[in-house]
Structure 1
Amino acid sequence: MPEYQGRGIGRSALQQVLEIESKSNRNIHLEIHADHEHTLNLYKSCGFIVYHAQDYYDYRANPSHS
């Protein structure tokens, strides 16, 4: 919800999960929609790295009927 964005709630929750999981020696993998730049920046700032990215394409034979 927009009124809760930018308050550090997501970052705090993510960092807590990362702490717990790192104690268990578990790897964490994420899959996100690449155009969510704000979310991508959050994950990167918490130590995640992009190791694979894939673009998707849409073909419409008759775009006027979409």
Structure 2
Amino acid sequence: MSAHKYKFEVKMTCSGCSGAVERVLKKTEGVDSYDISLEKQEVLVNGSIPYDDLLAKIQKTGKQVISGTTLE
């Protein structure tokens, strides 16, 4: 499977919020690397996981996903 880059705008208000997203991404198969920015309210993910699967995983944290795009 080919690797993709995704960018999500996720509403995170504290380090607990970003920590919840990080815990989910850490356990998700098909995620090679990620970068979570609480200041920018942004989650960047590299991996072979399909967009819809990744979106569902982030939404399961209870955090609001404002937008998401595929960069590559």
State the TM-score, normalized to the length of structure 1.
Answer: 0.31
Select the structure of larger CA radius of gyration: 1
Which has the higher relative contact order, 1 or 2, with Cα contacts under 8 A spaced 6 or more apart? 2
TM-score, length-scaled by structure 2:
0.29
Greater strand percent: which structure? 2
